Structure 1
Amino acid sequence: MICREHDGAIVMVKQHDHGKLAGELAIWFKEEHVPEEGRRDEVLWAVAEHDRGWIDLDETPFWNDAEHAPYSFIDFPVVPKLTFYKRGLDEIEARTPYGALLCSLHFERLIKISGLDYPELTLYQEHEEERRSRIHRELEVSKPIGEDELYYDARLLEFCDDLSLYLALNEPGSPKSEEHPWWREGFSGSEDFSFTSGRTITVEWKDKSTLVLDPFPFQKTVEVAFMLKRVQQSEIAKRGIAPAYRDTPEEECRIVLTALNES
């Protein structure tokens, strides 16, 4: 679950809904920069499904007593999180081994960034290293991976995941001073895309429904939508997180992504 506090409520977005949003962003990414030997359909599906391991976990949120807040993807207990990561990757591999390779690398990067160190993490990483090696061997026989292909696709997943998280973790229209700190200086790694000429993609809210990106990474101005719940903290205190979340209606958040010179 992706969570943030706003005006006496906890705004909650399901991880898989965030993943589907990332997949929508990937569809509109500038195609002319995709390596020729690509697997576009597989990559787009994998980006959209990369967090499918959270589907069951997010049906009922769990309360973190120490933080007085729901558990989120950041602080969810390691052992069940890794179990569902693996299940999600197994499901992705059944559809597209290349997509599982891509998503496994993505989770490996997130684990390294987190700095966490648990025996269970070591076992998980060993298992995923074996998965990636096996997929590499299998694809070498059937459809070898191009020299720049995996690097580009990993950057695409990373950027679309980050931008989708940005949209979920920030109240639309927020000034820079109130934005989530992860992206105040822009999206790390975005300077690797050729169209940026080495610049980092930055974002700024024009208003409560329009986000300006510079350099602009999409084929055209894009309107995206995702679902969220604003669960009142008073209801959580009165009834508990599970029933309060269950009975809170979903609402749609729609955002227009546009270029600086079009804003």
Structure 2
Amino acid sequence: MICREQTKAFIMVKQHDHGLLSGQLAVKFKVEHVPAEGRRDEVLRAVSNHDRGWIDLDATPFWNDAEQAPYSFIDFPVVPKLTFYRRGLDEIEADTPYGALLCSLHFERLIEMSGEDYPELTVYQEQEEERRAHIRLDLEQSRPLGEDELYYDARLLQFSDDLSLYMALNEPGSPKSEEHPWWVDGFSGTEDFSFTSGRRITAEWKDHTTLMLDPFPFTETFEVSFMLRKVLKSAIAAKGLARAYSETPEEECRIWVSDRRGGSIE
């Protein structure tokens, strides 16, 4: 679950919905910068489904007593999280082995960034190394994999994931000074895209419905949407988180993605 706290409520976004939003963004990425030998359809399916392992976990959210807030993907206990990571990767591999390779590498990077150290993590990482090794071997026997292709596709997944999280974790329309700290210096890895000339892509809200990016990585100005629930703290106190969440209707959040350098919404 992705959670953003307001004064009287928690804004809650399911991880798989965030993944689907990532897919909406990836499909609009500038095609001229996609490697010619790429596996575009597989990459887009992987981006959209990279967090499908959370589907069952997010059906009934859990309360974190220590934080007095719902558990989120940031602080969710490691052991069950790894179990569902693995299940999600199994499902992705059944659809697209190359997509599972991308997603496995993506989770490996997130684990390394977290600095967490548990025996269960070591076992998980060893198992994922085996998964990636056999996928690479299978790909070499059918359609050889270029390291430049893999590196590019991994950056696309990382950026789409980060931008989708940015939309969920930041209050739409909030000033730059209140931006979530993860992206104060822009989106890591985007300086590697050819069209950025070594600059990181940065984001800033124009208003509560329009997010501006520079350099602009997409083919056009476009609108995306995702579902969220605004779960009142008073309802949680009265009914408990699980019931309050289930009784809160979903709302659609719609956001225009625009070029900061100019161009109005058409």
Please, what TM-score do these two structures have when normalized by structure 1? 0.99
1:212 partnered with 2:227:
no
Q: Give the secondary structure class of the aligned counterpart of 2:36.
A: coil
Match of 1:120 in 2: 120
- 1:16 partner amino acid: H
- Residue by residue over 1:103-146, the C-alpha shift from the partner in whole angstroms, topping out at 9 and shown as x without a partner, is 00000000000000000000000000000011001100001112
* 1:61 paired residue number: 61
Residues 100-111 of structure 1 correspond to what in structure 2 (within 5 A)?
100-111=100-111
Query: TM-score of the superposition, structure 2-length normalised?
Result: 0.98
> Could you say which residue in structure 2 is the equivalent of 1:31?
31
Runs of 4+ that moved beyond 6 A? none
Matching residue of 1:42: 42
List runs of 5+ in structure 2 lacking aligned partners. Answer: none
Q: Give the residue type in structure 2 aligned to 1:212.
A: M
RMSD: 0.7
Partner of 1:241: 241
Q: Which residue of 1 aligns with 2:263?
A: 262
C-alpha distance in 1 between matches for 2:151 and 2:189: 11
Residues 1:22 and 2:22 aligned together: yes
Measured in 1, the distance between the counterparts of 2:7 and 2:66 equals: 22
Between the aligned partners of 1:131 and 1:70, the Cα distance in structure 2 is 32
TM-fit CA distance, 1:57: 0.3
Other-structure match for 1:77 = 77
Separation in structure 1 between the aligned mates of residue 178 and residue 244 of structure 2, nearest angstrom: 27
Matches within 5 A, 1:95-174: 95-174=95-174
CA distance in 2, matches of 1:10, 1:63: 12
Alpha-carbon distance in structure 2 between the residues aligned to 1:224 and 1:214: 18
| Structure 2 equivalent of residue 192 of structure 1 | 192
Match of 1:227 in 2: 227
2-side partners of 1:184 and 1:173: how far apart? 16
TM-superposed CA distance for 1:79, in Å, is 0.4
Question: How big is each residue's C-alpha offset from its partner over 1:204-236, in whole Å with a ceiling of 9 and x where there is no partner?
Answer: 110000011000000000100000000000110
Question: Displacement of 1:6 after TM fit?
Answer: 1.4
| Unpaired stretches in structure 1, ≥5 consecutive residues | none
Q: Tell me the CA shift for residue 147 of structure 1.
A: 3.3
1:92 aligns with 2:92: yes
Offset, 1:7: 3.1
Aligned to 1:178: 178
Question: Displacement of 1:176 after TM fit?
Answer: 1.3
> Distance in 1 between the 2:124 and 2:179 partners?
33
SS at structure 1 position matched to 2:164 = helix
Rounded Cα–Cα distance in structure 1 between residues aligned with 2:196 and 2:163: 16
In the alignment, does 2:52 pair up with 1:52? yes
Q: Which moved more, 1:220-229 or 1:143-152?
A: 143-152
- 1:229-263, CA deviations, whole angstroms, 9 ceiling, x for partnerless residues? 00000110111000000001110000000002225
Q: Which deviations, in whole Å up to 9, do the C-alpha atoms of 1:173-209 show, x marking residues without a partner?
A: 0011212111122101111000001111011110000
State the identity %: 75
Distance 1:32 1:7 in 2: 44
**Helix, strand or coil: the match of 1:230?**
strand
Distance apart, 1:102 and its partner CA? 0.3
The letter for the 1-side match of 2:35 is: P
Q: How far apart are 1:157 and its partner, in Å?
A: 0.1
CA distance in 2, matches of 1:32, 1:201: 18
